[in-house]
Amino acid sequence: MIARINALLRRSEMQSAVSQKEYAGVSIDLDAHKVTRDGKLIQLSPTCFKLLATLMERPGYVYSRDRLLGRVWGAMCSLNRVQSTFTYGVSVKR
């Protein structure tokens, strides 16, 4: 039991130590909620920041719509929001 607790503490320390990520010239500071590209500050809404942070966790990984909705808008996002997002996605493709 103590070994499990120690392992969890180590993992949380490792995750908190990585507050900055960089990919393709874009840097994100998760603690300060700042995004820069090639050294220039980019202003993002809180939702766009969450989306970018999610995508930068695993560059190249393809997320499903449901996973992105859950990660960015939360697991409790309403059915209406999901439906309107789906409708928007369909209308953009046309």
Does 17 or 40 have the greater pLDDT score?
A: 40
Classify residue 73: in a domain, yes or no: no
Q: Residue 90 pLDDT > 90, yes or no?
A: no
Q: Is residue 14 part of a domain?
A: yes
- pTM for the whole thing? 0.62
Write the pLDDT tens digit of every residue in 20-48.
Answer: 888 889 999 998 999 999 989 999 999 89
Higher pLDDT, 19 or 53: 53
Structural domain containing residue 5: 1-44
Asked if residue 29 is part of any domain, the answer here is: yes
pLDDT value, residue 18: 66
- Characterize 23-62 residue by residue with b for buried, 16 or more Cβ atoms within 10 angstroms of its Cβ, and e for exposed: eeebbbebeeeebeeeeeeeebeeeebbbbbbbbeeeeee
Domain count across the chain: 1
